[in-house]
Structure 1
Amino acid sequence: MDRRDFLKALGITATVTGAGAFLAACNANEQSGGGGAVAVSSGGTLYILSDTTSQHLDPAKSQNLAITTISLIHRRLTAWKTAADGPATVVPDLATDTGRASADGKTWTYTLKDGLKMADGTPITSAEIKYGIERSFDSAFSGGLGYHKNLLAGGPDYKGPFKGGELASIETPDPKTIVFHLARPYGDWPWIASMPAFAPVPKGKGTDATYDTKPVASGPYQVESYQKGVQVKFVRNPNWDAKTDLARTGLPDAVVIQMGQDTGVVAKRLLASQGNDAFAFGSSFVNPAQLAQIRTNPAAKNQLVTSKSGALAYLALNTKRGPLANPKVRQAFQYAVDKTAYQVAAAGSADLAGPIATTLITEGIAGREVYDLYPAPPNGDVAKAKQLLAEAGFPNGIDNLDFPVSTANNDADKAQAIQAALQRAGIRTKLRPLDDEAWTTLVTGNDGNYDLTLGSWQPDFPSANANIEPLFGTSEIGNGGYNESRYSVPEVDALITEAQGTVDPAAAGKLWAKADKRIMQDSPVVPLIYTRNSFLHGAKVGNFAIGAFPAYPNYLQMGLAK
């Protein structure tokens, strides 16, 4: 997931775009546990303060992460369990286990738990899950995470249940069994089964746009009201059974999302914690300017929670363009970049921005190996960069590299810091400011008419698969893909295919780590930092914690003090 889509990840439809859309945060875990110190109990109303004006509740349209908003009302076959001291893990949700794979990794079978019901009383059977997935293929309900659409056999040509009948690669031999036939082996299918489209939908429901504001729920809550641009209110689903749910505590009686809130005002309200604001949290990151002030307020310490790290911020080098087609030139960039200057430009200081990055797989992902192929001081090694340029045939440096940058947020400041650092080594760039839509069209389009650009990425699910393929697979060049370096190496594509087809997570992890190092040998990107995210909550919100991955609070675990 490109970091500009973080609002979608939180279940919010407005998109903050640009490579720097995420705001940085303060020292990781300096507020140990944050709201976890508050003793919580069942009851009360939890308030979510959002600066956006709309919300997708239809699972087919959602790009929401499995620990945020939409999961309060929708369950799936699997779910995520997060922890501060280790990688996120996949756990059963509606299913009795995380899936049983065939020997070739192409067929996955799930058995549903007993006695499951939706909010309207509909029994949750394999038919409701099959229909919900099929419905996500219809163009009228598009926009959600769509990994399954290319993985399921026949998926690319399927038009959904209203135009194409049933999808043969999803079988329901009985009400408690669902079987998926994939086009190729895929070891991460249990993570795919945790995505929004795998939520059950009663057959015949969800045939028009109104389902996006009042879907039939399977989680602890159901939609009571949806006031566009103003507020969404969730109340208890009487058919939810906590004993069957490993991912959700369902502690509050109700959850209210207040939309259209000013982020600066939200921070002040939460710190004051007057009235209902004591039972609220902000869904947006605390911006660096406010964060600097908050850190000096001892009373705010237990209301600010910060991720250890987050998305990978990087400099993408177009491997198809001029001098950048030479690997040795690209390796020179690893030494020319001043990562400390980037940290300061991103958030004012190194500790606010996040730790320096050297790998492609982000922290909190199983199988990640720490290494540094290009060891250099944090502010770079200009002499080494010049040496590599000379060896590549550019003793006088390189001129006029096209450097498009989004005008959103402070991307221009970060790009200027990169530009100044590169110039020390004789790499001269021309910044090209673009509005965010134009920038996105350029870097994800088919032409690739640029030399370098800033990017950032946080995976859609807790697997190195979601780090590596979207940014470095040949299939992700152009056509809306985020392989911004236009990197295409058959050996790496083969490694990706092998790792994806490996069912054993430990074995797959070793392959992903191998791919990480193999890609970095070619230097298609310069890893810059792992960005940190900070969130504020009211004084009476507890169980407010950010795991090792993803860099968001787990909405499903929160509770309130009386």
Structure 2
Amino acid sequence: MIRKPTSRLLLAPTVLVAGAMAVTACSAGDSNTGSAGNEPTAIEGGTLTIYTTAEDMSFDPATSQSLAITSLGLNARRLTAWSVSPDATTEVIPDLATDTGTPSDDGKTWTFTLKDDLAFEDGTPITSEAVKYGLERSFATELSGGLTYHKAVLEGAEDYAGPFDGKHLDSIETPDDKTIVFHLNRAYGDFPWVASTPAFAPVPLDSGDPASYAQAPVASGPYSVSSYKAGNEIVMTKNPEWDPATDEARAGGPDEIVFKLAQDSSVVAQSLIADREDSKNSFLATFVPPAQLVQAQNDPKVGDRLVTSGPGALEYLALNTESEQLQDPQVREAIEYAVDKTAYLTAKGGEISGDYATTLITPGIAGREDFSLYGDDPAGDVEKAKELLAEANATDLNLRLVIRDDQVAAAEAIQQGLAKADIEVTIQTLDSAAWSAEIPAGDGTGYDLTLSSWQPDIPAASANIQPLFASDQIGNGNYNLARYSNPDVDAAIEAALSITDADEANAAWVEIDKQILADAPVVPLVYSRNSFLHGSGVTNFEIGEFPAYPNYLTVTLGE
């Protein structure tokens, strides 16, 4: 998975680019199944191997962007965690805390109480002060790159530079060893989700050199990092101080977990397809490459060991609303009708690659509502598009579609679909770094259209909407790629962020979803489906409705 560095967004979800993970669970042949059907009986113990293309991994919660259910979650607990299921939306649950937080002061203050008998791997008690210190470390300039949700909402955070000079953040109070109180600069209903992000993991005050903590963290979860060889492997062994009775989120099944780094995904996939002896107790943490995916689909010996997601991350076409040719909403509506999503999905690999998208809030998010403002035919409505363009007196459009160099087939599908409505599209390809400089960080003058993909880091509708459509997220490396600015939408986003009642908040976000799409700043294309492979000795390999990743915390071995 590839993540972009995040600025101090109110929310800072994941930008997905080619090769990034995006799955919600079902087996390859049955979209109603959330795990690999005929599995071996789960056992305690053994060594689970996880193959990854990454050359390095950070276990420092201050710098990590790891989701709550992936790598860092094996080592570091947080105040809250996620309960994921293939059959239900993800719920926030207590982790180190006794509950998911108690709001007061109309949602501007949140209080958590730690569970009894929590300890680090060396037996030192986990206290509220250790949680506070872990958060404070994330503000240090030498520990940049982590998720930034908390930095935008904690009172006084904008002037804080970390604890290494002896200063502390007064908006985090620890009145006793088990109580931690957060004072926010605004009411914020999603704070229980924020408390599940990496920075909310406890770190001992005597943790030593912050530069080396990423490779030698002090465990609060079921696994300790016992050896770390960059570019080679990371070995994790059972933490004897972890108490499963206090942990609803983690199974802690294998005795040992080994991450094999810098792997060739095609080579690993071939080994898993063959179910070789040295691959039986392993899985590939990245998507199955296209050639091996076809091979696995056609190999009856693979069967349910190929796990293909349900609909996940949103892939979309962004329409630059500042472009002279796209300022008229009627022109943008015409493009909504003209895009051929069937051609786009075919270019992506067909039905196994995604479901057609019509909304901005992704599947698996609580409160999400299905609707379609621009017809029900994914192939589009060319005649309706031409009619709208004629009414807008826009019959000579020539649009510049700027893409990354791994998106050519998808871009050509967009180009061919728009051509049917007499909209000419010129494709320009850039490498990933150049695309980032030109589109998220640029001034908006270099493109009319661009393709992108988005999966939030927390299962909240706010994480779908705010980063992509709030006007303060235009430029400067942020991801309002449509450069969309609507004061009414900005006000609605601010109001929804402050709602602490979940049902009320969900309803507000659905209305914002509809409000934005009525302005047609983006064309929702597909919700990505992606495929993973594991060996025959792996069981409990589940991928919930959200997030679109395997749940590392519950994978066990079987016989």
Fold-level match, TM-score > 0.5? yes
Q: How many angstroms does 1:318 deviate by?
A: 0.5
- Equivalent residue for 1:430? 426
**Mean Cα displacement is larger for which, 501-510 or 281-290?**
281-290
- Equivalent residue for 1:556? 553
Q: Does 1:504 align with 2:486?
A: no
Assess if the C-alpha contact under 8 Å between 1:66 and 1:79 holds in 2: yes
**Mean Cα displacement is larger for which, 439-448 or 123-132?**
439-448
CA distance in 1, matches of 2:41, 2:102: 39
Report matched runs for 1:231-380 at 5 Å.
231-347=233-349, 349=350, 351-380=351-380
Give the counterpart letter for 1:429 in structure 2. Answer: V
- Equivalent residue for 1:155? 157
Assess if the C-alpha contact under 8 Å between 2:317 and 2:524 holds in 1: yes
SS at structure 1 position matched to 2:325: helix
- The gaps in structure 2 that reach 5 residues or longer are 7-13
CA distance in 1, matches of 2:246, 2:435: 46
- The gaps in structure 1 that reach 5 residues or longer are 9-15
- Equivalent residue for 1:11? none
Q: How many angstroms does 1:276 deviate by?
A: 3.5
- Equivalent residue for 1:415? 411
CA distance in 1, matches of 2:114, 2:15: 39
Q: 1:171 to 1:187 in 2, by over 3 A?
A: same
SS at structure 2 position matched to 1:488: coil
Assess if the C-alpha contact under 8 Å between 2:121 and 2:242 holds in 1: yes
- Equivalent residue for 2:437? 441
State the TM-score, normalized to the length of structure 2: 0.95
Assess if the C-alpha contact under 8 Å between 1:339 and 1:378 holds in 2: yes
Query: Alignment partner for residue 197 of structure 2, among 195, 198, 205?
Result: 195
- Equivalent residue for 1:381? 381
- Equivalent residue for 1:12? none
Q: 1:140 to 1:22 in 2, by over 3 A?
A: closer
- Equivalent residue for 1:404? 402
Q: How many angstroms does 1:62 deviate by?
A: 0.4
CA distance in 2, matches of 1:458, 1:337: 22
Give the counterpart letter for 1:546 in structure 2. Answer: I
Q: How many angstroms does 1:518 deviate by?
A: 0.2
Report matched runs for 1:80-99 at 5 Å.
80-99=82-101
Give the counterpart letter for 1:502 in structure 2. Answer: I
State the TM-score, normalized to the length of structure 1: 0.94
- Equivalent residue for 2:533? 536
Query: Alignment partner for residue 463 of structure 2, among 455, 461, 466?
Result: 466
CA distance in 2, matches of 1:76, 1:101: 18
CA distance in 1, matches of 2:488, 2:452: 24
Give the counterpart letter for 2:365 in structure 1. Answer: I
What per-residue deviation string (whole Å, max 9, x for no partner) do you get for residues 521-562 of structure 1? 000000000000111001010000111111111000011114
Q: How many angstroms does 1:372 deviate by?
A: 0.3
- Equivalent residue for 2:217? 215
Moved over 6 A (4+): none
SS at structure 2 position matched to 1:432: strand
Q: 1:35 to 1:197 in 2, by over 3 A?
A: farther
**Mean Cα displacement is larger for which, 22-31 or 184-193?**
22-31
CA distance in 1, matches of 2:261, 2:413: 35
What per-residue deviation string (whole Å, max 9, x for no partner) do you get for residues 340-362 of structure 1? 10001112x2x122110000000
Query: Alignment partner for residue 518 of structure 1, among 493, 515, 519?
Result: 515
- Equivalent residue for 2:11? none
What per-residue deviation string (whole Å, max 9, x for no partner) do you get for residues 53-107 of structure 1? 1111111110000000110000000000101111100000000000000141000
Assess if the C-alpha contact under 8 Å between 1:134 and 1:167 holds in 2: yes
Give the counterpart letter for 1:454 in structure 2. Answer: L
Give the counterpart letter for 2:526 in structure 1. Answer: I
Give the counterpart letter for 1:406 in structure 2. Answer: R
Q: How many angstroms does 1:20 deviate by?
A: 3.7
Assess if the C-alpha contact under 8 Å between 2:273 and 2:302 holds in 1: yes
CA distance in 2, matches of 1:17, 1:429: 25
Q: Report which of the two has the higher share of helix.
A: 1
Assess if the C-alpha contact under 8 Å between 1:23 and 1:287 holds in 2: no
Q: How many angstroms does 1:272 deviate by?
A: 2.5
CA distance in 2, matches of 1:89, 1:523: 31
Assess if the C-alpha contact under 8 Å between 2:16 and 2:454 holds in 1: no
How many equivalent pairs are there?
547
- Equivalent residue for 2:390? 390
Assess if the C-alpha contact under 8 Å between 1:337 and 1:422 holds in 2: yes
Give the counterpart letter for 1:428 in structure 2. Answer: E
Q: 1:548 to 1:28 in 2, by over 3 A?
A: farther
Q: How many angstroms does 1:307 deviate by?
A: 1.3
Give the counterpart letter for 1:320 in structure 2. Answer: E
Assess if the C-alpha contact under 8 Å between 2:357 and 2:524 holds in 1: yes
Q: 1:298 to 1:235 in 2, by over 3 A?
A: same
CA distance in 2, matches of 1:514, 1:376: 20
Identity of aligned residues (%): 51
Assess if the C-alpha contact under 8 Å between 1:278 and 1:538 holds in 2: yes
Assess if the C-alpha contact under 8 Å between 1:335 and 1:376 holds in 2: no
SS at structure 1 position matched to 2:280: helix
Give the counterpart letter for 1:112 in structure 2. Answer: L
Give the counterpart letter for 2:109 in structure 1. Answer: T
SS at structure 2 position matched to 1:200: coil
Give the counterpart letter for 1:278 in structure 2. Answer: K
Q: 1:387 to 1:206 in 2, by over 3 A?
A: farther
Q: How many angstroms does 1:243 deviate by?
A: 0.1
CA distance in 2, matches of 1:30, 1:185: 38
Assess if the C-alpha contact under 8 Å between 2:22 and 2:549 holds in 1: no
Assess if the C-alpha contact under 8 Å between 1:147 and 1:192 holds in 2: yes
